[in-house]
Structure 1
Amino acid sequence: MKTLLTIAWRNIWRHPARSSVMIIAIVVGLWAGVVTVGIMNGMMIQRTNYMIESEITHAQIHHPEFLSEGYSRLYIPDHGNITAWLDEDERVQSYTNRTLTDGMIQSAVKTSGIRIRGVDIEAERATTTFHENMTEGEYLDSDISNAVIVGEALAEAHNMDIGHRVVLTFENVDNELTSGAYNIVGFFRSASVNYDERNVFVRAEDFNRLLSPEPLVHEIAVMLNHEEMADGFVNDVNSTFSGIEAQTWRQLSPELSMIVELGGVMMVVITAIIMIALAFGILNTMLMALFERMRELGMLISIGMSRMRVFAMIMLESMILTFSGAIVGMGIAVLHLSYYKDAGMNIEVFAGGAAQLGWDHIIYPVLTTNEYVAILSVVICITLLASVYPAIKGVRVNPLEASKSN
């Protein structure tokens, strides 16, 4: 075996330029693929965590028709009984009541359609991280009456500034148009420009004074101790209470659920592309080396080297090339991802387009140890399989015919 290793090693470096190019190709291909998978994983995990922690939460409760219709009269009946039940459920980490309706915002510049979100400040802080999206001014706990916070994108479109007054118009519970003057106290920026253009936040108590004689709740957003509890929790809520509909975050945001499911598919596709490219590279390199050494292989067979040892020698050459490139490529990828896992990868140059799609401009790549091992193992296996054909060609060499070749 030691002799075969020595021969294989020397054969590889007969043409150092060609072997070096092949090793570099494996290094670059594996590094690029692993980093790409890590970035994709990071983007998907960040997007999912942000949406759950900042906006959607693990589960929500509404009137059955509210999400499709959006009318203020479609509020949650007997929400007090539901919140009392939530207080007793050990699965519930926290929850917040929201008063919602569609309406219009009128500034000195123009009028736009929006969704008005009345929130309980303390409960919202305890349940979501949306308050961390504030970029300027104050959150709704400002002392200013009828406070409103708007998205940066909406503020820019309306040329609004902190301290400006806007008029919010909406239908009250009796289907009558109602308007109220609100004071802008701050701007927020979420991960989605579209969300920032379409939503404003006010205090629930200020909003309810205009909406209905009695406090209304259109949405109860619930954070659970673990995301895996969502399905069972929703089933329990729906079976316990009538006139409402509880849904998990996957049901509320099918596109977000699809992102999670596509994460594994993307990794398979990217890895497959790497494997195919590397397999053809190894196949091409080994076939070139084989045709150049036909006379030598014929001579080795004619002086007594078994065809099995010839096969093993060619496979060893492929293994040395593959392992050399794979180990270096994976090492560089691990160092790369380890650095950016903490520091974050700034894609500010693409921030505008990323924000339109709901992605943050700072990406934290994520790749588990099992994923590293899986990618490395599959790449090594496939490239070695690609070497089987050249090895078979080598053992089929006819010594007599090979001796006649130049």
Structure 2
Amino acid sequence: MKTLLTISWRNIWRHPARSSVLLAAIIIGLWAGVMAVGTMNGMIQQRTDHVIDSELTHVQVHHPEFLSEGYSWMYIPDHEKITSWLDDDERVASHTSRVLTDGMLQSPVKTTGIRIRGIDMESENRTTTFHENMVEGDYLDTDMRNPVIIGRRLADEHNLDLGHRIVLTFEDVNNELTSGSFNIAGFFESASADYDKRNVLIRSGDFLALLSDQPVYHEIAMMLENDACASSVASDLNNEFPDIHAQTWSQLSPELNMMVQMGGSMTYIITMIIMIALAFGILNTMLMALFERMRELGMLISIGMSRLRVFTMIMLESVMLSITGAVAGMLLARASLYYFRDTGINLEIFADARGFAEIGFDHIIYPIITPGEYTGILLVVIFITLLASLYPALKAIRINPLEAAKDH
């Protein structure tokens, strides 16, 4: 085998220019593939982390029908017992309770349907990173009476500025229409334009004063010490408190979960597409080398070299060339990923930052790729190379030594 490896490697470099062109194509192709996969992984990971860390959290608790109906009277029963249970569970890092309802925002310009979120600032800041989205003004800890923070995009639609007054209208727990006047304390800007246009945040105390004569909460959101425990925590909550509905982030946001799952399969799809294109180059190169060496291969067979060894030699040439290019391409990609790990890839050259925000993504992407994905890419390269080399190798073992000598 060592002799075959040596001969195969030397055969590759009989025509340095031709082999170098193919090698360069493989290197560039694999570099582009790994960078594409890493960028896509980075986009998905950043989107997932942002949604979970700033709003969705690992597990949420609601009234069984609240998410489908949204009525303010569908609040969580036994709220104090549930929060006490969470305080005693070592798997739960932190949790926060929210008051939620759908309503209308009225300004001098127009009226817009929104979701009103009443939050407790202390527990919310311990649990989520939403306060980091503030871009102007103060958070809800201001001394202003009835403060509200709204998305910058929603403010632009209503021509609102800091200090302006808006009216929020909604149904209380008795299904009676009520309104409250709130003063704009600050603006936030998240990675999702849709979220910014549809949500306003006020203090839960101010909200409850208008909503109910007793404390009621519609959502308990919690961050866990390990997100792998999300399913077990949700299951335990549902078993312990049958009148509530606890769900993990993947259940609450199936589209986000699907995007995460699809990201893993896209690694292999992108690599397959690139390698199938390169396979034609490998096939062409090996066939050209085969036709040039017909007499030589016929002579090797005639002096006793088994056809199996000839088959193995042709296959080794293809595999060695492809693996060399693949390893070089992945090393180049690894160096590129290391560079962009800190600087990020700015996609504003393709579209405006606000355009990416409209679909819920950041315009600066920090690419990520796992060791398992490197291994998977290398296996795909070997598999496609073997397929591309199969025809030239089979053609080589069918050579008739007498005819090969006569033709040349």
TM-score bracket for the superposition, by shorter chain length: over 0.9
Which whole-Å CA distance do the structure 2 matches of 1:245 and 1:101 have between them? 17
Letter in 2 for 1:118: G
CA drift of 1:44 comes to 1.7
Q: How does 1:2-401 map to 2 (within 5 A)?
A: 4=4, 7-348=7-348, 349-350=350-351, 351-401=353-403
TM-aligned CA distance change 1:80 to 1:16, over 3 Å: same
CA drift of 1:365 comes to 1.2
In structure 1, list runs of 5 or more residues that go unmatched.
Answer: none
Taking every aligned residue pair, what percent have the same amino acid on both sides?
A: 66
Q: Deviations over 1:132-162 (max 9, x none)?
A: 1111111111111111111111111111111
Task: Find the residue that maps to 2:160 and give its secondary structure.
Answer: coil
Q: CA RMSD in A?
A: 1.9
More displaced, 309-318 or 85-94?
309-318
Task: Find the residue that maps to 1:40 and give its secondary structure.
Answer: helix
In structure 2, list runs of 5 or more residues that go unmatched.
Answer: none
Which whole-Å CA distance do the structure 2 matches of 1:35 and 1:28 have between them? 10
Task: Find the residue that maps to 1:113 and give its secondary structure.
Answer: strand
Q: CA contact under 8 A between 1:326 and 1:380: conserved in structure 2?
A: no
Task: Find the residue that maps to 1:223 and give its secondary structure.
Answer: strand
Q: CA contact under 8 A between 1:322 and 1:384: conserved in structure 2?
A: no
Q: Deviations over 1:176-199 (max 9, x none)?
A: 221111111111111211111000
Letter in 1 for 2:356: A
Give the structure-2-normalised TM-score.
0.94
Q: Deviations over 1:56-101 (max 9, x none)?
A: 1111111111111111111112312222222222222111110111
TM-aligned CA distance change 1:211 to 1:379, over 3 Å: same
CA drift of 1:271 comes to 2.2
Task: Find the residue that maps to 1:247 and give its secondary structure.
Answer: strand
TM-aligned CA distance change 1:188 to 1:397, over 3 Å: same
Give the structure-1-normalised TM-score.
0.94
Letter in 2 for 1:367: I
TM-aligned CA distance change 1:384 to 1:173, over 3 Å: same
Q: Deviations over 1:319-368 (max 9, x none)?
A: 33213311211111110111112222221243333222211212111111
Which whole-Å CA distance do the structure 2 matches of 1:352 and 1:99 have between them? 30
Q: CA contact under 8 A between 1:208 and 1:216: conserved in structure 2?
A: yes
CA drift of 1:2 comes to 6.6
CA drift of 1:123 comes to 0.5
Q: Deviations over 1:221-274 (max 9, x none)?
A: 111211122222122222222432111111111111112221222112112223
Which whole-Å CA distance do the structure 2 matches of 1:353 and 1:78 have between them? 43
Which whole-Å CA distance do the structure 2 matches of 1:50 and 1:308 have between them? 56
